[in-house]
Amino acid sequence: MINSDIFKCKLLLGNAEKVLEQFSSNTFHTVVTSPPYWQLRDYKVAAQLGQEETPQEYVEKIVSLGREIKRVLRDDGTFWLNLGDTYCKKNIKKSNLKQQDLVGIPWRVALALQEDGWYLRSDIIWEKENPQPESQKRRPAKSHEHLFLFSKTLKYYYDADAIAVPQKEISIKRAFSKNRVEKRKDYGDDNYAISGESQNKTYEKMRKKILSGAKIMRSIRDVWRIATANNKLKHFAIMPEKLVERCILAGSSSKGCCPKCKVPWNRIDDSDEWEAGCECGEKEVQECLVLDPFNGSGTTGRVCKSFHRKYVGIDINEKYLNIARESLVGDSSDYFAEEVSSIEEIVE
């Protein structure tokens, strides 16, 4: 079993791409990050990301980092990338952008990563419950950001049940409706067959669960309504923990992984039972390993601490790294926290 009293993390100072060169290939189970947005904030650090002259330069840097992320990510791993968009502050002839143009940064990055070999699996909309007010009267006020889910291959770890949500009452009632899908007039129509058969199987499975007394859940959808984070850690941009939580729960096994081959354990059906994902025969498990190459205030690390994952955070800004270190490995009455002394120690 995982020793939940010990939180293992490693915080590293430096350029993310260069720091990741220290790690072996196929190391991390999942990567969750939100890099500095283009032309939004100047952190006054040399070689920082986000202050490039053109969006193309910004995209190229993320794609380059993405190659190193892909190398250190396990073949069954996932890469979750949170990005917000930007309005152009001035005309940029090199990019054919006009002042006040919406640049489209998130999709420029996503398509470039896809072109570079990543599988683009989902575009999740983070709908902010409490967006920053805007005085703009010539367009709708902004209230969302993008969260992209990437994978190296089509066979990757994803625990849908870990972030499933309760099925709505109307859908549960529909499963027992007298006008069920198999009684529809167009049931035998070829145009109906694909979606109709799938829907019919879903309702049949739902009816069996309801009659057995099971709680009825459904897969989470791709619009997540989550409040922005309270800024208590002296950092400009903080991802909300609820946003990161879903990425980590879905992208890494809550049971843990094999201590030998690091393959994650798999949930059995939609239960709380687990089975090994490998044939090593190990009964003990080890925490899955999560990376955030833009550690910032340490949100990803704090979520890892709460949900018993090991964590590596990288940041180019020493000031913010020290703030994060205090929140992650400082004194705590209910946690014995330790910062590992070497990369090898946390990887193993």
For 141, counting Cβ atoms within 10 Å of its Cβ (0-12 exposed, 13-18 middle, 19+ buried), the class is exposed
Going by C-alpha positions, the residue among 23, 110, 100, 99 that lies closest to residue 62 is 110
pLDDT of residue 186: 59
Q: For the chain, what are the domain ranges? A: 6-164+219-347, 167-218
Phi/psi of residue 183, nearest 5 degrees: -100, 0
Show the low-confidence residues of the chain (pLDDT under 50): 193-194, 331-337
Residue carrying the six token digits 């100072």: 13
User: What residue ranges in 167-219 does DSSP mark as E strands?
Assistant: 217-218
Give pLDDT, residue 65: 98
Tell me which architecture the domain covering 6-164+219-347 has in CATH.
3-Layer(aba) Sandwich (3.40)
- Identity of the residue numbered 8: K
Give helix 105-115 / helix 55-72 axis angle, nearest 10°. 50
CA angle 268, 269, 273 (to 5 degrees): 35
The backbone torsions φ and ψ at residue 211, rounded to the nearest 5 degrees and listed phi first, read: -70, -25
Instruction: Provide the token pair at 199.
Output: 């829907």
> Can you give the length of the chain in residues?
348
Give the residues across from 125 on adjacent strands: 146, 223
pLDDT of residue 40: 86
pLDDT tens-digit map of 52-63: 999 999 999 999
- How many C-beta atoms surround the C-beta of residue 11 within 10 A? 20
pLDDT score of 4: 57
- pLDDT number for residue 182: 59
The 3-state DSSP class for residue 14 equals coil
pLDDT at 340 (0 to 100): 65
Could you tell me the pTM of the whole model?
0.89
Place of tokens 């843990």: 256
Contacts 24+ apart (CB under 8 A), 234-239: 234/323, 235/296, 235/297, 235/320, 235/323, 236/41, 236/43, 237/34, 237/36, 237/37, 237/41, 237/296, 238/296, 238/297, 238/299, 239/34, 239/82, 239/296, 239/299, 239/300
What pLDDT is stored for residue 213 in this prediction? 76
Q: What pLDDT, on the 0 to 100 scale, is given for residue 334? A: 40
Largest CA distance in the chain: 68
d(CA 16, CA 292): 9
Look at residue 3 in the predicted model and tell me its pLDDT.
56
Residue 201: the pLDDT is 76
